[in-house]
């Protein structure tokens, strides 16, 4: 059997586009709840590290309050950590960061709940707190013993560096980044008969909410159903961090027997949840006269906050990406997990990759400047080539790095832009321009092997319509429309014949988080697998009906054809049903070939790499340090794109978010460790006016050599790191102003840029 | 206290506490949940509605201040026949939305821009939309969507 006129490869709008545009789309806060539903609020710690005592009587006595829950009220386990324990739902005896949740209260309405939460009497006995990475490094405050740090070694880096013609040392730090999903953390828990619990959660990982809520409530996983139709942005911030709202609501719902909704106000959302890990990266590099790196010693210290959360996996990815697109013949790279009294830092688009790659790009830029060579030439000299191995031993097959960088440099006129900037810089005393072209090579797969699996459930109804469930969550990335396109392509039916159902733990069990850019790769394959099973069954039924061979049947435009005979897909479904053929199939997929030994830091953890490059021009004002992007040209790999419009959207949005991380998003705290940036009034993310006037994204569409779904490539995270070109362009402009580009850190706020510039007179 | 106003062409009224925000009144009393709350500090723009045709952040305005006013929310943008407003259609076609949470506010802001300035330049669009935050799209397609409607006028 064959399919013609496939829906894949076209650009239909987002599956919820009309619902979004009309305001009809329901987010957690919009879901109608029973009339007696309660609203919850939480009480949080004001201290970064302290023993505490609570008096919650005033909370209980506050008008409208129905129930209060603290650690002692949890029937099951007081633990909502994803991997290693250390994240209690409600703090017990000791708080480990300012913002840590101590209790929750349910009241008749949101206002009463929030007002009541403020009335708690909490007394603290403060303990010494570790508030900076420097402090943690000094005090050796680490999550694990030093001997267990993740360390990746190839050859004798020290010897190669000593022997190299040139050596350079440098460091770069990057700050935390708040996810700022527009829909804040929110959940609603609805008690069901027999002690069961239904939870609507704004989460990227419903299956984990199910597990954690079951543990917290002291019931089994099959007593909990978690449903997520869509989330108003996630970016990693709702991978583990969604558990607090969901589990607190569930505890209160169980306690009161009434539905409970918990939506964090923005300032609490900022205070309570983890952010992107700040990093301090240091390198010592040895290289030849062309800038070719011969050996690199690198340490990447990460500010993990008060617990492990996903930090070890994040640091692992940072270490595995500290070579970005380059070949290091000898390398010694160590990740240092610093433990501090802050919210546990967590997944954020790129998952450590951006921080590792920032170090690589910083090192290359420093080397180029040291040698007085063009940075792009130095990059080219170091590109990892076909058949070479990454520092962890994975062979890289035909990486398109040189091709993409070459095409981009040509089409977006790298040389001309460099020249124009030089001319501008000669003519202008108070403004300088910089240009940079940087590559991205990002490994695709969860580095934790077992997570690389997915399930789907496909059901065809008698009218020929299809209900599709898979384990992925829709957070705006267009996952649902892509997977509908994949299924429609198998059946040869119009797209509106397929309906993606809300993600629900009762339909597809044990799904991994929608993370690591894997959403379409994993769930798309599982859905395709289910669809193929059903297509084979329907074809066999039609073949019996027509007395022809099943493999001569063509599925196209909602019709089955065999020679001159034809029937609609709906007819075929009805015939199959009458013939007692099952029209429901579970699909499954596990990524082949990947393996990784954490102890030796060796293996092939990635099924493939996604590459791209960006060419960015910027301008800085030497009086104020203010800067703006003049242009950004991007060429990025998507394989055979399933939906080019969605992929372009991911690239544009990823670049913007990366640029925010590198240029303007600055998390600040007071000396007590409490956030002073608690919302958009003080924390600046890019707005429409911050994007470059010239912003052009092109797709590099060569089919994926790895056998991915329809030979596409993952596109969620990699584009974020394209923004490194902007940061390198800033460094270039600073250098042109005779500034100290080597001391530029991220975010490169105007203050930060100004600090690297010489005094103007 | 009692408030009365016109919302999406219909006379409505409700009993509210004096400190009730217009956003809350719309969402909770009228269950018009297309007006979103993305912050509590009047920066994100997810809650923008039209008040007498002018865009306002409904979280900065008390319900009482809207007494007697003519309010349009995202739910009131479709034609009576159920056709999408040109801006809604343009956001859909130009992929000016991802998670969709910012979309209603963007559409309402853009509607006011085009009312005041039917053919804004790209720069004017970007400047106008600076009070509306989008974390997903990078704004490219949002600006394109507004331009598409401006060009069609
Ligand atoms: S909710 Fe009104 S501006 Fe953010
Ligand atoms: S589409 Fe998600 S915030 Fe704009």
Q: What percent of chain A has pLDDT over 70?
A: 99
Interface test with B, best of A16, A20, A235, A681 (most B CBs within 10 A): A20
Q: Can you list the domains of chain B with their CATH numbers? A: 2-76 (3.10.20.30), 86-152 (1.10.150.120)
To 10 degrees, what angle do helices A644-663 and A353-371 make? 70
A101-124: average pLDDT: 98
Collect all residues of chain B within an 8 Å Cβ-Cβ radius of residue A633: none
Query: Does any CB of chain A come closer than 8 Å to the CB of residue B14?
Result: no
B78-101: average pLDDT: 97
Architecture of domain A2-24+453-590: 2-Layer Sandwich (3.30)
Residue A226's pLDDT band, with cuts at 50, 70 and 90, is very high
Query: Does any CB of chain B come closer than 8 Å to the CB of residue A535?
Result: no
Query: Does any CB of chain B come closer than 8 Å to the CB of residue A158?
Result: no
Query: Does any CB of chain B come closer than 8 Å to the CB of residue A52?
Result: no
User: Tens digits of per-residue pLDDT, A253-262?
Assistant: 999 999 999 9
Architecture of domain A279-447+597-756: 2-Layer Sandwich (3.30)
Q: Is the pLDDT of residue A2 over 90?
A: no
A193-200: average pLDDT: 98
Boundaries of every domain in chain A: 2-24+453-590, 33-128+185-231+238-272, 279-447+597-756
Cβ atoms of A358 and A174 closer than 8 Å: yes
Residue A459 main-chain phi, psi, to 5 deg: -135, 130
- Residue B14 carries which DSSP code? E
User: Tens digits of per-residue pLDDT, A618-649?
Assistant: 999 999 999 999 999 999 999 999 999 999 99
Query: Does any CB of chain A come closer than 8 Å to the CB of residue B46?
Result: yes
Give A 628-687 residues with CB within 8 A of chain B.
645-646, 648-649, 652-657, 679-681, 685-687
Ligand 1 mutation target, pool B44, B49, B109, most atoms within 8 A of CB: B44
Cβ atoms of A722 and A658 closer than 8 Å: yes
At A318 the pLDDT is: 98
3-state SS, residue A106: strand
- Would you state the structure tokens that stand for residue B52, as one six-digit string? 């007498």
Q: Which ligand is nearest to the CA of A21?
A: 2
Q: Is the pLDDT of residue A4 over 70?
A: no
Give one DSSP letter per residue of A279-324, joined into a string: EEEEEEEEE-TT--EEEEEEEEEEE-TTS-TTHHHHHHHHHHTTTT
User: Tens digits of per-residue pLDDT, A340-371?
Assistant: 999 999 999 999 999 999 999 999 999 999 99
Q: Is the pLDDT of residue B153 over 80?
A: no
User: Tens digits of per-residue pLDDT, A234-252?
Assistant: 999 999 999 999 999 999 9
A33-128+185-231+238-272 to CATH, choices 2.40.30.20, 3.90.850.10, 3.40.50.300, 3.90.1170.50: 3.90.1170.50
Number of cross-chain residue pairs from A and B with Cβ atoms under 8 Å apart: 183
What is the spatial distance between Cα A272 and Cα A633, in angstroms, rounded to a whole number?
Answer: 37
**Could you count the other beta carbons within 10 Å of the beta carbon of residue A97?**
27
Q: Do domains A33-128+185-231+238-272 and A279-447+597-756 have the same CATH topology?
A: no
Collect all residues of chain B within an 8 Å Cβ-Cβ radius of residue A680: 39, 41, 43-44, 133
Give one DSSP letter per residue of A540-588, joined into a string: HHHHHHHTS-GGG-EEETTEEEETTEEEEHHHHHHHHHHTT---EEEEE
Interface test with A, best of B43, B63, B73, B99 (most A CBs within 10 A): B99
User: Tens digits of per-residue pLDDT, A470-505?
Assistant: 999 999 999 999 999 999 999 999 999 999 999 999
The side-by-side arrangement of strands in the sheet containing A224-228 is: A65-70, A101-107, A38-44, A260-263, A186-191, A197-201, A224-228, A503-504
Q: Judge whether A717 counts as a catalytic residue.
A: yes
Query: Does any CB of chain A come closer than 8 Å to the CB of residue B84?
Result: yes
A113-137: average pLDDT: 97
Q: Is the pLDDT of residue A170 over 70?
A: yes
Nearest to A521 by CA among A651, A351, A713: A713
| Record: contact A685-B135, CB cut-off 8 A | yes
Q: Which atom of ligand 2 lies closest to the CA of B142?
A: 4
Dihedral (CA of A178, A181, A182, A187) sign = negative
pTM of the model: 0.97
The mean pLDDT of chain B is: 97
User: Tens digits of per-residue pLDDT, A508-562?
Assistant: 999 999 999 999 999 999 999 999 999 999 999 999 999 999 999 999 999 999 9
Give first-to-last CA distance, chain A, whole Å: 77
Nearest to A260 by CA among A207, A205, A213, A191: A191
B57-67: average pLDDT: 97
At A508 the pLDDT is: 97
- Residue A267 carries which DSSP code? H
B142-146: average pLDDT: 98
Q: Which residue of A lies nearest to B39 if distances are taken between CA atoms?
A: A266
At A760 the pLDDT is: 77
Collect all residues of chain A within an 8 Å Cβ-Cβ radius of residue B95: 11, 13-14, 17, 645-646, 648-649
Ligand 2 centroid–CA B104 distance in Å is 10
Containing B11, the helix (H) or strand (E) segment is strand B10-15
Q: Is the pLDDT of residue A761 over 70?
A: no
A653-674: average pLDDT: 97
| Closest CA–CA distance from residue A112 to any residue of chain B (Å) | 12
Q: Which residue of A lies nearest to B97 if distances are taken between CA atoms?
A: A17
- Would you state the structure tokens that stand for residue A214, as one six-digit string? 């079951």
Nearest to A516 by CA among A648, A614, A605, A595: A605
User: Tens digits of per-residue pLDDT, A423-446?
Assistant: 999 999 999 999 999 999 999 999
Catalytic hit among A171, A422, A717, A751: A717
| Record: contact B139-A654, CB cut-off 8 A | no
> What are the pocket residues of ligand 2 if the criterion is a CB atom closer than 6 Å to any ligand atom?
A 182, 233, 476; B 97-102, 134-137
Cβ atoms of A291 and A371 closer than 8 Å: yes
The residue whose CA has the least distance to atom 3 of ligand 1 is B42
What is the spatial distance between Cα A740 and Cα A279, in angstroms, rounded to a whole number?
Answer: 21
What is the spatial distance between Cα A679 and Cα A270, in angstroms, rounded to a whole number?
Answer: 7
Residue A589's pLDDT band, with cuts at 50, 70 and 90, is very high
What is the spatial distance between Cα A19 and Cα A429, in angstroms, rounded to a whole number?
Answer: 52
Q: Is the pLDDT of residue A6 over 90?
A: no
- Would you state the structure tokens that stand for residue A11, as one six-digit string? 């650009």
Which residues neighbour A63 within 8 Å (Cβ) at sequence distance 6 or greater?
A107, A112, A115, A116
Residue B87's pLDDT band, with cuts at 50, 70 and 90, is very high
At A759 the pLDDT is: 86
As for the ipTM of the complex, it is 0.98
User: Tens digits of per-residue pLDDT, A159-169?
Assistant: 999 999 999 99
List the beta bridge partners of residue A568.
A559
3-state SS, residue A683: coil
User: Tens digits of per-residue pLDDT, A695-754?
Assistant: 999 999 999 999 999 999 999 999 999 999 999 999 999 999 999 999 999 999 999 999
Query: Does any CB of chain B come closer than 8 Å to the CB of residue A267?
Result: yes
Give first-to-last CA distance, chain B, whole Å: 43
The mean pLDDT of chain A is: 97
3-state SS, residue A153: strand
| β-pair type (A595-597, A65-70) | unpaired
- Residue A702 carries which DSSP code? P
Which residues neighbour B10 within 8 Å (Cβ) at sequence distance 6 or greater?
none
């Amino acid at each position: 059997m064959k399919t013609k006129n496939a829906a894949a490869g076209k650009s239909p709008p987002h599956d919820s586009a009309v619902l979004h545009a009309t305001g009809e789309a329901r987010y957690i806060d919009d879901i109608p709840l029973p009339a007696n539903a309660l609203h919850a609020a939480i009480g949080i710690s004001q201290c970064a590290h302290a023993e505490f005592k609570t008096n919650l009587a005033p909370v209980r006595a506050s008008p409208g309050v129905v129930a209060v829950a603290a650690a002692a009220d949890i029937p099951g386990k007081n633990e909502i950590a994803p991997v290693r324990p250390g994240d209690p739902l409600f703090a017990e005896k000791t708080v480990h960061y300012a913002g840590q949740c101590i209790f929750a209260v349910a009241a008749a309405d949101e206002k009463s709940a929030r007002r009541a939460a403020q009335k708690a009497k909490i007394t603290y006995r403060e303990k010494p707190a570790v508030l900076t990475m420097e402090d943690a490094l000094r005090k050796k405050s680490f999550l694990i013993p030093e001997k267990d740090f993740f360390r990746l070694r190839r050859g004798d880096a020290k010897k190669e560096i000593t022997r190299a013609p040139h050596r350079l040392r440098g460091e770069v730090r990057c700050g935390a980044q708040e996810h700022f999903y527009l829909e804040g953390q929110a959940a609603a828990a609805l008690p069901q008969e027999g002690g069961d619990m239904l939870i609507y959660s704004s989460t990227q990982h419903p299956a984990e909410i199910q597990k954690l809520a079951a543990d917290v409530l002291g019931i089994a996983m099959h007593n909990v159903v978690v449903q997520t139709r869509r989330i108003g942005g996630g970016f990693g911030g709702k991978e583990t961090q969604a558990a607090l709202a969901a589990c607190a609501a569930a505890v209160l719902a169980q306690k009161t027997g009434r539905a409970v909704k918990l939506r964090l106000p923005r300032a609490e959302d900022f205070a309570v949840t983890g952010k992107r890990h700040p990093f301090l990266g240091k390198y010592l590099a040895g290289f030849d006269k062309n800038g070719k790196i011969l050996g690199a010693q690198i340490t990447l210290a990460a500010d993990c906050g008060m617990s492990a959360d996903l930090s070890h996996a994040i640091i692992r990815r940072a270490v595995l990406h500290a070579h970005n697109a380059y070949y290091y013949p000898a390398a010694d790279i160590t990740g240092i997990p610093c433990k501090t009294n802050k919210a546990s830092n967590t997944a954020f688009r790129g998952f450590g990759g951006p921080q590792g790659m920032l170090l690589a790009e910083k090192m290359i830029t420093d080397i180029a400047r040291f040698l007085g060579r063009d940075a792009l030439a130095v990059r080219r000299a170091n590109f990892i080539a076909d058949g070479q191995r990454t520092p962890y031993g994975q062979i890289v097959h035909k990486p398109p790095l040189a091709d993409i960088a070459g095409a981009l440099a040509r089409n977006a006129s790298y040389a001309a832009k460099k020249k124009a900037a030089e001319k501008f810089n000669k003519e202008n005393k108070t403004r300088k321009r910089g240009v940079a072209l940087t590559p991205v090579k990002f490994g695709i797969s969860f580095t934790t092997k077992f997570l690389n699996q997915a399930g789907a459930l496909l059901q065809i109804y008698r009218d020929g319509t299809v209900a599709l469930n898979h384990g992925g969550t829709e957070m705006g990335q267009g996952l649902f429309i892509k997977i509908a396109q994949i299924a429609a392509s198998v059946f040869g039916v119009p797209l509106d014949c397929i309906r993606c159902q809300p993600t629900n733990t009762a339909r597809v069990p044990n799904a991994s988080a929608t993370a690591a850019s894997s959403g379409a790769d994993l769930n798309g394959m599982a859905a395709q697998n289910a669809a193929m099973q059903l297509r084979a069954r329907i074809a066999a039924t039609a073949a019996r009906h027509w007395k022809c061979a099943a493999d001569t049947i063509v599925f196209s435009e909602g019709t089955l054809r065999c020679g001159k005979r034809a029937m609609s897909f709906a007819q075929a479904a009805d015939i199959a049903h009458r013939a007692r053929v099952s029209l429901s199939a579970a699909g499954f997929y596990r990524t082949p070939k990947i393996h990784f030994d954490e102890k030796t830091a060796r293996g092939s953890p990635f099924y493939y790499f996604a590459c791209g490059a960006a060419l960015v021009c910027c301008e800085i004002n030497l009086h104020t340090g203010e800067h703006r992007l003049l242009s950004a040209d991007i060429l990025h790999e998507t394989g055979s794109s399933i939906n080019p419009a969605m992929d372009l959207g991911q690239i544009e949005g990823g670049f913007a978010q990366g640029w925010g991380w590198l240029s303007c998003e600055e998390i600040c705290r007071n000396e007590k460790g409490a956030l002073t940036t608690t919302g958009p009034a003080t924390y600046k993310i890019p707005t429409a006016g911050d994007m470059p006037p010239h912003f052009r994204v092109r797709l590099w569409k060569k089919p994926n050599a790895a056998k991915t779904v329809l030979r596409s490539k993952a596109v969620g995270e990699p584009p974020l790191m394209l923004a490194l070109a902007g940061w390198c362009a800033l460094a270039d402009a600073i250098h042109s102003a005779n500034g100290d580009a080597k001391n530029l850190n991220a975010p490169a706020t105007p203050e930060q840029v100004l600090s690297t510039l010489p005094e103007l007179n | 206290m009692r408030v009365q106003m016109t919302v999406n062409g219909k006379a409505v009224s409700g009993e509210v506490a004096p400190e009730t925000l217009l956003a809350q009144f719309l969402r909770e009393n009228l269950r018009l949940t297309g007006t979103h709350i993305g912050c509590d500090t009047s920066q994100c723009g997810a809650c923008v509605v039209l008040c007498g045709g002018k865009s306002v952040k409904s979280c900065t305005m008390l319900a009482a201040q809207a007494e007697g006013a003519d309010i349009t929310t995202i739910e009131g943008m479709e034609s009576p026949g159920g056709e999408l407003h040109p801006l809604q259609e343009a956001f859909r076609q130009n992929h000016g939305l991802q998670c969709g949470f910012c979309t209603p506010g963007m559409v309402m802001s853009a509607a006011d821009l085009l009312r005041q300035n039917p053919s804004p330049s790209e720069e004017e669009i970007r400047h106008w939309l600076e009070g509306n935050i989008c974390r997903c799209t990078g704004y490219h397609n949002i600006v394109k969507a507004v331009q598409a409607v401006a060009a069609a006028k």
